[in-house]
Each structure stands twice: as structure tokens, then as C-alpha cells.
Amino acid sequence: MVRINKSTLVLADGTIFRGDQIGYSPKVKYATGEVVFNTVMSGYQEVITDPSYAGQIITFTYPHIGNYGVNKHDNESGRSHCRGVIVRDLARRHSNWRASNDLDSFLKEMEIPGIAGLDTRRLTMHIREAGAMPAAFGTLSDEELHEIAKSEPGTSGIDLVSQVTCKEKYELKGDRQDRLIVAMDFGIKATIIEHLKRIGDVIVVPSSTSAEEILRLKPNGVFLSNGPGDPEVVKGVPETIGKLIGKVPIFGICLGHQLLGLALGGTIKKMTFGHHGGNHPVKNMANGVVEITSQNHNFAIDPDSVTQVADVTHVNLNDGVCQGIRLKSAPAFSVQHHPEAGPGPHDSSYLFDDFAQLMEEAAK
């Protein structure tokens, strides 16, 4: 009989949840991070390996997680950067023809601690009211975990991009070798790279790469990737983007969208609990079409701060958050949501074709 260790989650405000220990067992007997909730019903492997979750503990709102196991093809990066995983019911056995392992073993392999068996509905409702906040979970006492949670800084004011960006540039051959895209890596997902390869060769460069270095590569377009944390502490990048605007077509996603906003002189606000999931309705302001989108962000552009230089192209119908901008005087646009999905719906995948068209027009 497998022995199950009890585990406790304590939020920074002192709220306590009881559960069972799953996944990796850290030697220090606890894990910390900022707790957020994600509403996807499938795609947990992609979520867990998305570098955008660096510094965060992921709560899955769907009650049964792990049903179809994991496989070697669905990772969004080489390793996980999240701090932990919270689930209601971890599947006791997995069943899928693609599966090569179970989720619990995967968490141990990736060295991700987790907690199961707690009331994720109550936890989600609490986060919606009080906001995403630091927490600690493990086998220490409630008092010890609470003190640790209070000392956890969360994601505001922390440079997480430097932890997930590539160390040196690398090149990938695409379907269109007459077109070159330079992708600035702030925590880029594998699925995004696959979409970019469909429209050109891709060179992925570290986040610290200068505008001069990027332009020396003679790209047809520059892509600003997704990534974790607070855009206002990614030093030097908005200035780099500012030097690229007007010289090469630009497309940004998620953190890349926010960094483009900062390059335009815009301001950023932190949301109460963010958008994390695969079912967010977003309105395309140009044609009125509502797209169901995948999202993962805790920060957003204040649209009023960029309207003099850019048009708002997409709006989240749940709360009115700015989901996309397009510059008025330069070939550049960005969206807050994830058109590549991975996981999620593909309603917005046309945006990669829009980027290809922008590069085509600039080449004329």
C-alpha cells in the first residue's frame, strides 16, 4: 500500500487548505509561489511546461486532472518553471494511446511539488475575491507555512524573464525559407515556434539581444514572445522594441504585447487574479467576431495610455481588458491572448497569417 503524506496550503492572508502530497518532495518540505487558477479542462501538460508560469503555483479548476497521462510530444518547453501544482482529484490511472507516463511521475521527473484533494472551488472563489497572492504548501506546521507565505514576493517587481530566456540564439528551418523571422525569447512556447516555422525560417534570440544585433540578421519580421511576470522590470527590452518599430514588421503575444505597449509609452496595470484558461471570449473590433481564446497573464495594458499611437483591436468580453493593439503609423501589432493555443481553441490562429501578410506588404 502506497503511503500518502498529508500536505497543507497556506495563503499569505492566513487561509488554510488541507490535502495530500503529490509529485516531487522538496528537501525543504515546502514550496512557495503566487497562486493562480487555470480553467482548462485538458492540456495540463502544456500548461505545466509553459514558461509563462514561472514563479506561480497553478490551481486547476477542472476537478479530474491526469486522466490521459502525459507524453513526450506535448511539452511547451524543456522543463517546467512553475513552482507547484494544485488539483482536486489526481487520476489514479491514466488511459490514452499517446500516453507514455502518468502525471504524478511526470511531476516527480520535472521536480514539481503538488497538492491534491483540497477544495479547488473554494480556493478559486477565494482568489477571485482576494486576488492572486503568495502561498506556501508542504508538510511543515501551519504557522511555519504562513510565515514562509508572507515572505514570498510573488511576481510583481520580479524579473522572471531572465530565468526562462534562452542563453544563446538558435535557428530553425521553416516552410518558407525565403522569409526570416527573429523571435525575441521572453519564455517562448514550442507551439508558437511551430506556427512561426509555418510562415518562415526562425532565429530565436535571448531577451537581452539589442536592436542592432537583431537588424544585422536582416529579418523580414520580429516576433515578441510570451513570457512570465511583470513587464515593467524587463529592463532594456521596451527600448529595444522602440528602436525596431518602423524598421521591421512586429508581432507580439502576451508579455510581448505588454512590452510593445511599454515601448509606445503606455502603462501597465496588475489584474486582480488575471486571465488563465482556454475559454475567454474576445471580440475582434474590426469585424465584430467573438473568438474563444487561450490566455495566461496577470498584467495588462491600460488602453487609454496608447490610444494616441495605436488602435485597440481586441477586447475581452468578460471584463473589458485590452486584448490587442495595432500601431497607426508602423507595421506592428500584438495581442494579449494566445492564438497558438497549446492548449486551447484555434479561433485566433489567423493572426500568424496576418503577420505573414504584414511581412509580405513590407517587402514590396
Active site residues: 254, 338, 340
Of 197, 163, 190, 192, residue with least CA distance to 257: 192
CA dihedral 78, 79, 81, 83 (to 10 degrees): 170
Q: For residues 320 and 116, what is the distance between their CA atoms, to the nearest angstrom?
A: 33
SS3 193: helix
Q: For residues 82 and 295, what is the distance between their CA atoms, to the nearest angstrom?
A: 16
C-alpha torsion sign, points 31, 33, 37, 41: negative
How far is residue 165 CA from its own chain's centroid?
A: 13
How far is residue 133 CA from its own chain's centroid?
A: 17
Of 296, 287, 302, residue with least CA distance to 338: 296
For residue 70, what is its C-alpha cell? 502525459
Q: How many CB atoms lie within 10 A of CB 353?
A: 13
Question: What is the C-alpha R_g of the chain?
Answer: 20
C-alpha torsion sign, points 43, 128, 289, 340: negative
SS3 281: strand
SS3 237: helix
SS3 362: helix
φ and ψ of 207, to 5 deg: -65, -25
Distances from the Cα of 68 to the Cαs of 48, 88, 98, 343, in angstroms?
Answer: 15, 16, 8, 14
C-alpha torsion sign, points 210, 194, 84, 4: negative
